[in-house]
Amino acid sequence: MRKWLVLARVFWPLIVVPLGIFLMGRLGMGRYIPRVLPFALAMLVVPLLLLAIFALGSLTGQKYRGMFADDQIVELAQRLARAKAACLELLEKPYSGSMKFRDEAAREQGNFFETSANLRVYYTIDHEGKDYRHHISMSNSRGPFALAAGQHIAAYLSELMSLDLPEIAAMWRRETTVFHISFALDETQQRQFALAPVHVPQLADLPQFRARAMEAVRKIREVGIGTLKDWRYSARPV
């Protein structure tokens, strides 16, 4: 009730001012409208500005809210499992075409995918000496990718892949488009990783899943440095 009273106090000019001008015209007082119009517009500035901010916030929130829905976590896990399998296969049969067309090839190979909530994920595994370099890039196909969204989904990936990404990975985000995760595994760790399946959570398990992921998010935010346009995270020293 209190919330509605506050909203009424803020937005009442949006109803009263147009109604007042309309009634002035109907009652034969139209000649006074030019005199009162500047004051009427001034009264509308604040509520219109607040309304625009509220609408923009709602649209932005809606854009990302779908990525964190229960069914989207399950979809992410299922698509990630296929991407992991594709990456492991590509280690045996590396891509030999032009780098110009690597992204297009990744779609066919399966290590690039886009969820129904417009989350794009590109996963690669490459040899790096005796180690294996994993790189995951994430973006939003409909526009900028919020830093907070990247941090949360990185935490989800940590749970889904059974890897402690806050302890082993570097993460960064440049400008507003792509969030990167990079980490290396030695030969023993890579063998264990290859044998371990991606965890596809049941809907009933998602509350616990989210709670564990939030712990990872807190670690990432505590250590990460930089600005919204140039943010980076380095794994805690062991």
Strands (E), the chain: 112-114, 119-128, 131-140, 170-174, 178-185, 225-226, 230-233
In percent, the amount of the chain with pLDDT more than 70 equals: 65
Let me know whether 198 and 84 are in one domain.
yes
Q: Considering the domain boundaries, does residue 238 fall inside one? A: no
What pLDDT digit, counting tens, does each position of 51-105 carry? 555 444 444 444 555 788 899 999 999 999 999 999 998 887 765 555 544 556 5
Residue 71 pLDDT: 92
The pLDDT value given to residue 111: 87
Place of tokens 């993460």: 171
User: What whole-number distance in Å separates Cα of residue 211 and Cα of residue 217?
Assistant: 10
21 contact partners, CB below 8 Å, separation of at least 6? 33, 36, 37, 40
Domain boundary among 28, 45, 64: 64
Count of structural domains, the chain: 2
CA-to-CA distance for 186 and 33, rounded, in angstroms?
77
Provide the residue range defining the domain that includes 227.
69-233
